[in-house]
């Protein structure tokens, strides 16, 4: 099964204040039904008015964490897509607020793969796959021992390792 087949016809909301990012994501996901919002209020209206298979949220410029709370409360799987807010803190906040995945904008060419993981995971968190795919990227960006410096990530790693051994997918 290809990514295109898995994503075909999926309803996706993309929220970003940069028009070029909205266009790039729309082109990458041309097999999906796309709604785009450039600001918080428009995104909020879309979240209240439509059902989405996946919501893709920027963090900066659109109050992404507030929109994440709204998307999660409505049962929509949310993927954080950001450039300036790529940090251990934003990853941690995304996890705590219920995002199912996280992708730096400079990895946008991998978006289909990340969304495929979300669909295959039934819209549940796929953090084990995020860390598998972005582990080296995060180490280069945050430092080689970034996870060990924070108890939250140490515990998360332990839980992900235990779940993988049991066949689970947190």
Q: How far is CA 77 from the centre of its chain?
A: 8
Q: What is the pTM of this model?
A: 0.91
Kindly report the length of the chain. Answer: 170
Kindly give the interhelix angle for 19-28 and 111-120, rounded to the nearest 10 degrees: 60
- Say which residue the tokens 């779940």 belong to: 163
**One digit per residue, pLDDT tens: the chain, 170 residues?**
455 579 999 999 999 999 999 999 999 999 999 999 999 999 999 999 999 999 999 999 999 999 999 999 999 999 999 998 899 999 999 999 999 999 999 999 999 999 999 999 999 999 999 999 999 999 999 999 898 888 899 888 888 777 766 555 44
Over the range 90-116, which residues count as b (16 or more CB within 10 Å of their CB) and which as e? Answer: bbebbbebebbbbbbbebbeebbebbb
Q: What is the DSSP string of 108-138?
A: GGGHHHHHHHHHHTTTS--HHHHHHHHHHHH
Q: Of 15, 19, 65, 58, whose CA–CA distance to 39 is shortest?
A: 15
| Domain map (residue ranges) of the chain | 3-121
Question: For the domain 3-121, what is the CATH code?
Answer: 3.40.50.2300
Q: Of 33, 40, 43, whose CA–CA distance to 9 is shortest?
A: 33
Q: With beta carbons less than 8 A apart as the criterion, state whether 170 and 159 touch.
A: yes
């Amino acid at each position: 099964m290809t990514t295109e087949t898995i994503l075909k016809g999926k309803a996706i909301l993309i929220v970003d204040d940069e028009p070029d990012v909205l266009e790039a994501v729309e082109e990458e996901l041309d097999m999906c039904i796309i709604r785009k919002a450039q600001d918080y209020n428009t995104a909020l209206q879309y979240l209240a008015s439509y059902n989405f298979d996946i919501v893709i949220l920027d963090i900066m410029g659109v109050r992404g964490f507030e929109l994440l709370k709204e998307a999660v409360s409505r049962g929509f799987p949310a993927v954080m897509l950001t450039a300036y807010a790529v940090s251990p803190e934003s990853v941690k906040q995304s996890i705590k607020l219920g995002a199912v995945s996280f992708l730096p904008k400079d990895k946008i060419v991998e978006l289909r793969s990340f969304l495929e993981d979300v669909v295959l995971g039934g819209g549940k968190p796929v953090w084990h796959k995020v860390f598998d795919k972005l582990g080296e990227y995060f180490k280069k960006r945050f430092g080689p021992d970034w996870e060990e410096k924070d108890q939250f990530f140490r515990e998360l790693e332990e839980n992900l390792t235990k779940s993988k051994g049991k066949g689970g997918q947190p």
